Each structure stands twice: as structure tokens, then as C-alpha cells.
Structure 1
């Protein structure tokens, strides 16, 4: 179940709630009972690296083809 982060405007408390995506826009009360809250935008952190020890590097993309101007549809 997704977790959503909220901030209470009256007391400044930041809190999280787990709720179904269908209820993501529903109002949320802060733990102190205030009703004036706002849902915060979340960011996703991805760890790791593209090329770890012993990993082969990715081949360079081929040129030409695909896209509007590369595919010849521009005239």
C-alpha cells in the first residue's frame, strides 16, 4: 500500500499515512487532530550505480531511424 506524506499547516507536523491510491486525495487529519493539512510531493531515491565492479558498459545507441526527423517523416 502506498505511503503519502502530509504537513499540518497549524502545527507544522509532518506525518505519513498508508492508504490505497484511490484515497490519495482524501483529506487527512494530523496526529494532533488538526484538519488543515496538505499532501507533500514525494521523491523516489534510487541507490546503486549504473556500472558496478565487473559490469560491462552499455553499447552506444545506433544512429539514424526512429523519431520524426530521423525516420524521414519531416519531408
Structure 2
């Protein structure tokens, strides 16, 4: 289940709420009971071993569309 970060405008507390994506825009109360909260933008660190494959080399045909259709 995704976690969303919030900040309470009343007390300045940062907190997380786990909820389904279908409820991602629903308001959240801070742990101290204040309702004046704002949803923060989260950054996701993505690391790993997979790499995107390099694009295949394009054949050189000399002409428009690479097929030699221009004389």
C-alpha cells in the first residue's frame, strides 16, 4: 500500500499515511489532531541493475525515410 507524506500547518509535524491509491487525495489529520495539513511531493530513489537497451542502429540508405526514395 502506498505511503503519502504530509505536513501539518498548525504544528509543523511531518507524518506519513498509508492508504490505497484511490484515497490518495483524501484529507489527512496530523497525529496531534489538527486538520490543516498539506500533502508533500515525495521523491523516489530508484537504483538497480537493469539498464535500458541502447537503440538499434538505423540502416543508412541515403535518402528520405532511409530507403532511398529520393533520386
TM over 0.5: yes
Aligned residue pair count: 60
More helix by share: 2
Aligned to 2:10: 10
Relative distance call for 1:6 and 1:59 in structure 2 (3 A) is closer
Q: Cα RMSD between the aligned structures?
A: 2.5
Displacement of 1:47 in angstroms is: 2.7
Structure 1: runs of 5 or more not aligned: 52-57, 65-69
Aligned to 1:55: none
Structure 2: runs of 5 or more not aligned: 60-64, 67-71
1:62 is aligned to 2:57: yes
Aligned to 1:22: 22
Q: Which has the larger radius of gyration?
A: 2
